[in-house]
């Protein structure tokens, strides 16, 4: 995610699903077709709390709203994960 953020943030181009799949495969991960079919091309919800807790964030999520809030106190590792996933936004 950090690589994609660095490459595409603030530019007039988007990261499409095919590019994302290609980058995931370059790191040796395979078997994401079901995930993409269900969550990116389909209508299933990705529940973010299990992932963003590692970035020091709390997530409130329902069918209509998504609220991501950074915890006021985070470890250095959590800050690095946050920056890698979300960039330098607050």
The burial class, CB within 10 Å (0-12 / 13-18 / 19+), for 65 is: exposed
State pTM to two decimals: 0.54
Please provide the size of the chain in residues. Answer: 90
d(CA 43, CA 38): 6
Rg (CA), the chain: 14
Instruction: Supply the range of the domain harboring residue 39.
Output: 1-44
Q: Quick one: 54 and 89 in the same domain?
A: yes
Q: Quick one: 50 and 82 in the same domain?
A: yes
H-helix or E-strand spanning residue 33: helix 33-35
Residues of the chain with pLDDT under 50: none
**pLDDT tens digits, one per residue of 32-56:** 888 888 888 888 888 888 888 999 9
Q: Quick one: 35 and 49 in the same domain?
A: no
């Amino acid at each position: 995610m950090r690589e994609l953020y660095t490459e595409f943030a603030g530019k007039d181009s988007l990261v499409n699903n095919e590019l994302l799949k290609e980058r995931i495969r370059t790191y040796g991960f395979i078997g994401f077709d079901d995930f993409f079919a269900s969550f990116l091309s389909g209508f299933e919800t990705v529940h973010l709390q299990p992932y963003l807790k590692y970035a020091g964030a709390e997530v409130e999520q329902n069918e209509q709203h998504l609220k991501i809030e950074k915890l006021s106190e985070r470890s250095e590792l959590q800050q690095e994960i946050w920056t890698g996933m979300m960039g330098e936004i607050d």
